[in-house]
Amino acid sequence: MNLVNIRDVLTSFSPALDYLAISTGDGRIKIWDTVKGQVQTEFADIASTEETNIYTKVAKGHLSVDYTCMKWLSLERKKKRKLGTSVLVLGTGGGDVLALDVASGQLKWRISDCHPGGVNAVSSSARASCIYSGGADGMVCQIDPHSGNLIRKFKASTKAVSSLCVSPDGKILVTASAQLKTFNCSDLKKIQKFTGHPGGVRCVAFTEDGKYVFSSAAGERYIAVWKSDGAKKQSASCVLALEHPPVFVDSWGETNEKGLYVLAISEIGVCYFWYASNVEELCNAKPTKVALATEDSPLKHHKGSLPIIFAAKLQGILKPGSAHAFIASGLLVKPSFQKMVLQFGTDLVLNASKDGILLSIAQVSKSSKGQGVQNRVITLDRAHAEDALLPIARVADLHEKLHSSDKDTDMVDQSQADHEETFSMEDKLRSLGILGGTDEQKNLTYASIIDGTDLEAYLPPKKLKSAVLSMEPSFAFKTLEALVAMWQTRACGGRHLLPWIYSIMVNHSHYIMSQEPKNQQLLNTLLKITKSRGTALQQLLQISGRLQLVTAQINKAAGNQTQTTAHDHEIDESEDEEEDVEEHFYGENDNESDLSSDDGKDKDDSLMEM
């Protein structure tokens, strides 16, 4: 039995809970219809139509896209749901923020390089008046959800912003790194700072009245509760313990009236539910568990991925201690959706479906024994598809084995012939003309031509043009031949050679065209090299994406995530020490001298209008 870790799985329900978006780290986004239980649409290889760079056009393939966060919001509230009113906002590891119009299946807008280093979180209020995004650069961007225009951005932390959340009324924004800070959404002035998490915060949620904030950091087995309308610098009011670190937190209700309802999902797909009339009672409340029945089912000895709970959302209150919840469970390749009533104090064990699980032939025959033949589809998920990627071994048949003794001599001769015909990849590239021959005399000639020129040194365009214009046309042509030969034999990188090649061809074009037939051979070689490199770029990007995916899975299996968390803990331990020196708080003048922050000097807290 394999415990599935869902910390890297991105999920987001639509505002009406009729759709669920799922991304499992392979660059694809599947939209599931929660009513019909089937895939509505799938987004893969999303590219902006405004891109005109030839190199960005080649960067296709879903494995080259790394989605890091998502948020589904409705642009129109208090009205009937219409097509085109729901958008799915996504952040990427490349720093882009984009919105998908799910109804039309098209890209609505994209902001490129919004956060250098990657986008870590996106959030919006219930009314979706604006979108907030945070990234590795410590900045928070405010975005118009209709047009995708960047309204403004400000420095929220000297560390990477790992999570964001907006209060239900849209008045307070909380940002999280190792510390949590609240800002006024109208003027983006800092209100409070919460300290206590040893590492980067993974999930943040407000209560319905916005008076309390729930947060949990990566690797922590508890949820901290903070009072948002108290002192400007404070510790957690209480903590809610779990058996495994949570990846999702949701809340409902209000203090002193409806009571507090908290819902969380752990890394292994177990749902936890708390209820209390106030925070003091919440601290002592024992959580109610909701899990799938896999221990006593036939799936107990299954070696592949097991069904889990990977998405949930509180819908409302039935009575004190009872709440409606919408839960997505099963396998990621075939989820099931159900609405249920959670009663505090009563643990629930849900039936685990076998839909989507790969069964062996023996198990299938046993399950179908004594029953009518049914049409079933067995689906492969990522955990089951590992063996499908292995090469198929060639098995000799009986006829070949019987005659193998009579052909020993022929086999030896054939193996020698095969050995003679085998050649390396370098020889293959040279036979195709992509790589040149190893002529030492030519290499020495080329080296003497460019002797004294530091090709790897950066030259501004004006200085580079001046250096090329100072060359004699004949010497410039010889230099061009040497540069093309060096690029063909990979003696130097293209990023160093191409600026020189471009400048020589532009400024000495008349002389180059007059050199017949040398120029014809030179230009054909240059064209062949350019086409071959451009054609290989797309495959290289796909290979790079697959290698990143495989490396991430290997690191997870080896337990490197624990080492990373420990490393982050060591880095963040010094956060308070180095940040308290430069802190500046917004608020009343009589309290400014008593507080400390990690925002730097006054100029770092100023807004940068875009």
Residue 11 has pLDDT above 60, yes or no: yes
CA dist 25 and 5 (Å) reads 13
Residue 88 has pLDDT above 60, yes or no: yes
Q: Residue 461: which pLDDT band, with cuts at 50, 70 and 90?
A: confident
CA dist 599 and 192 (Å) reads 12
Q: Which residues contact 66 (CB under 8 A, 6 or more apart)?
A: 25, 27, 92, 93, 94, 118, 548
The predicted model gives 182-200 an average pLDDT of 88
Residue 501 has pLDDT above 70, yes or no: yes
The pLDDT, as a whole number, for residue 405 is 47
The pLDDT, as a whole number, for residue 381 is 46
Question: What average pLDDT does the chain have?
Answer: 75
User: Which has more confidence, 70 or 50?
Assistant: 70
CA dist 241 and 274 (Å) reads 10
The pLDDT, as a whole number, for residue 131 is 93
Worst-scoring range by mean pLDDT, 26-35, 159-168, 411-420, 450-459? 411-420
Across 133-147, 186-200, 455-469, which has the greatest mean pLDDT?
Answer: 133-147
Residue 484 has pLDDT above 90, yes or no: no
The pLDDT, as a whole number, for residue 563 is 52
Q: Residue 451: which pLDDT band, with cuts at 50, 70 and 90?
A: low
Q: Which residues contact 367 (CB under 8 A, 6 or more apart)?
A: 359
Across 3-17, 97-111, 217-231, 502-516, which has the greatest mean pLDDT?
Answer: 97-111
Angle between helices 518-558 and 473-488 (to 10 degrees): 40
Q: Residue 278: which pLDDT band, with cuts at 50, 70 and 90?
A: confident
User: Which has more confidence, 505 or 383?
Assistant: 505
Worst-scoring range by mean pLDDT, 283-292, 314-323, 446-455, 513-522? 446-455
Q: Residue 100: which pLDDT band, with cuts at 50, 70 and 90?
A: very high
CA dist 15 and 20 (Å) reads 10
b/e sequence 463-482, b meaning 16+ C-beta within 10 Å: ebeeebeebeeeebbbbbbb
Specify whether the CB–CB gap between 161 and 68 falls below 8 A: no
DSSP 141-168: EEE-TTT--EEEEEE--SS---EEEE-T
User: Which has more confidence, 337 or 128?
Assistant: 337
The pLDDT, as a whole number, for residue 436 is 55
The pLDDT, as a whole number, for residue 383 is 44
- In 278-423, alpha helices (H): 279-284, 361-368, 398-402, 408-421
Q: Residue 477: which pLDDT band, with cuts at 50, 70 and 90?
A: confident
Q: List the structure tokens of 357.
A: 């699980």
Across 187-191, 293-297, 410-414, 441-445, which has the greatest mean pLDDT?
Answer: 187-191
The pLDDT, as a whole number, for residue 248 is 93
Worst-scoring range by mean pLDDT, 91-100, 232-241, 435-444, 588-597? 588-597
Span 550-570, pLDDT tens digits: 887 788 777 654 554 555 555
Span 149-190, pLDDT tens digits: 999 999 999 899 999 999 988 899 999 988 899 999 988 899
Q: Residue 463: which pLDDT band, with cuts at 50, 70 and 90?
A: confident
Q: In what order do the strands lie in the sheet with 38-43?
A: 10-13, 19-23, 29-33, 38-43
Residue 438 has pLDDT above 80, yes or no: no
Q: Residue 76: which pLDDT band, with cuts at 50, 70 and 90?
A: low
Residue 252 has pLDDT above 90, yes or no: no
pTM attached to this predicted model: 0.59
- Count of CB atoms situated within 10 Å of the CB of 488: 17
Q: Residue 376: which pLDDT band, with cuts at 50, 70 and 90?
A: very low
Q: List the structure tokens of 112.
A: 């490129």
Q: In what order do the strands lie in the sheet with 233-234?
A: 163-166, 172-176, 180-184, 190-194, 233-234
Span 316-341, pLDDT tens digits: 888 889 999 999 998 888 899 999 99
Q: Burial, 222: exposed, middle or buried (Cβ in 10 Å; 0-12, 13-18, 19+)?
A: middle
The pLDDT, as a whole number, for residue 417 is 44
Residue 83 has pLDDT above 60, yes or no: no
Opening angle at CA 580, ends 600 and 215, nearest 5: 90
Tell me, what DSSP letter sits at residue 137? T
Tell me, what DSSP letter sits at residue 482? H
The pLDDT, as a whole number, for residue 457 is 78
Per-residue 3-state assignment (H helix, E strand, C coil) for 192-210: EEECCCCCCEEEEEECCCC
b/e sequence 91-122, b meaning 16+ C-beta within 10 Å: bbbbbbbbbbbbbeeebbbbbeebbeebbbbb
Q: Residue 548: which pLDDT band, with cuts at 50, 70 and 90?
A: confident
